[in-house]
Amino acid sequence: MANKNTITTEFLGLNLASPIVLLSGCVGFGDEYTRLEGFSNTDIGGAVLKGTTLEPRLGNAPHRVYETPSGMLNSIGLQNPGAHEVVDNILPSLEPFETHFIANVSGSTIDEYIEVCRIFDQSNIHAIELNISCPNVKKGGMEFGNDPEMSAQVVEACKGATSKPIITKLSPNQADIKESARKCIDAGSDALSVINTITGMAIDINSKRPVLGNTSGGLSGPAIKPIALQKVMQVYEVAGPQNIPIMGQGGISSVKDALEFIIAGASTIGIGTALFIDPLVCNKINEGIEKYLSAQGLDGVESLVGSLIRD
């Protein structure tokens, strides 16, 4: 077991047992993973709950998941029981909390984001992650996260609806992620989650139809790591000087991956798709981080954040 004094990480005023945060959509509402035999709650700093909307959603038509070379496409469609059900019946079953839980809020209008944040504000979750990679029905289906102005509007509106820390999950499917980060920070985002999945698709060559029922989906896994790593570096150029922490994510599946993200500017690292390959990967990454810090003579993860040397 890794030295917890070394890898303990502060994030949004929370004392995390490790820099690892389990990502939304990969661990359900928490209990599905934390009850896994061999898993220790000291392996992770927190878990982001499944994306939640105001009303229940059944999600997209199948197929919803498809394995690709070094990655996975998913098009779940935000299937969830609705915010009231999560707060009233699911969260109480997790109490007393075994780790730090972060809600993931989604919506198709700004008003829906506001209402879901208000509902979670009355719960014991520790922070709220805004999934702004959702279509704005009032703007013809354009994703909030692909327009820096709309992203900032969501952040500003949600900041007024909750006292919980706000983490904005930035989309890589936009022209200038640094501008989006800047505007979200100015609007009040307390942290940034970098990055969300990359839009992609797969085709069945026999039927000549899209494999996914929704045609396209989000690509995750090792295939997107180089892209995610660059986006973290770019966002850190904006967020670092303002002491806005970054939750780096996108294809992390090894100790080396995790260290690269921290060096690029991530204060915490998100593990998602890798859990489907190795459900107990978190402790292995923790041990590797602790050994690296010891070998480098560093006294904690914070000493490594943003240490990238660029000549």
Catalytic residues, by residue number, are 134
The CA distance from 113 to 111, in Å, is 5
The CA distance from 122 to 47, in Å, is 19
Q: What b-and-e string marks burial along 8-30, b requiring 16 or more CB atoms within 10 Å of the CB?
A: bbbbbeeebbbbbbbbbbbbbbb
Whether omega for the bond prior to residue 195 falls within 30 degrees of 0, making it cis, is yes
